[in-house]
Amino acid sequence: MDAVVDVINAIDAWVWGIPMLVLLLGSHIFLTFRTGVIQRKLPVAIKLSVSKDPNAPGDISQFGALCTALSATIGTGNIVGVGTAIIAGGPGAVLWMWLTGVFGIATKYAETFAAVKYRVKDHNGNMLGGAMYAWKRAFKNKDGKTPWWAELGAGLFAIFAAIAAFGIGAAVQTQAVTSVVTTNVSAIPDWIGSFLDWINVDHTDGVGILPEAIIGLIIVGLVAAVIFGGVKAISRVCEKLVPFMAFAYAIGCIIILVINWAYIWPAICLIVECAFTPRAAFGGAVGSGLMLALQFGCARGLFSNESGLGSAPIVASAASTRNPARQALVSMTGTFWDTVVVCALTGLVLVSTMIGNADLQAELMAGNITAGAELTSAAFGEIPIIGTPILVVGMILFAYSTTLGWSYYGNRCITFLFGKKAIKPYQVLYLIIAFLGAIGVGDVVWTVSDITNALMAVPNIIVVLLLSGVIARETKHYVYSGNLDEQDCEPIPQLEAK
pLDDT digits (tens, 9 = 90+) for 212-233: 777 778 777 877 877 766 656 6
pLDDT of residue 229: 67
Q: What distance, in Å, lies between the first and last C-alpha atoms of the chain?
A: 41
pLDDT band for position 141 (cuts 50, 70, 90): confident
Looking at the DSSP assignment, which residues form a beta bridge with residue 281?
Answer: 286
From 135-144, 208-217, 351-360, 400-409, the region with the lowest mean pLDDT:
208-217
55 φ/ψ sector (left φ>0, alpha ψ -120 to 50, else beta): alpha
Q: Percent of the chain scored above 70 by pLDDT?
A: 68
Q: Where do the H-state alpha helices sit in 118-260?
A: 131-138, 148-164, 172-184, 190-198, 209-227, 230-259
Q: Does 107 score more than 90 pLDDT? A: yes
Which of 168-182, 202-216, 298-312, 473-487 reaches the highest mean pLDDT?
A: 473-487
Q: Alpha-carbon torsion 385, 386, 387, 393, what sign?
A: positive
pLDDT of residue 34: 93
Q: Does 49 score more than 80 pLDDT? A: no
Looking at the DSSP assignment, which residues form a beta bridge with residue 319?
Answer: 60
Q: Does 207 score more than 50 pLDDT? A: no
Looking at the DSSP assignment, which residues form a beta bridge with residue 286?
Answer: 281
74 φ/ψ sector (left φ>0, alpha ψ -120 to 50, else beta): beta
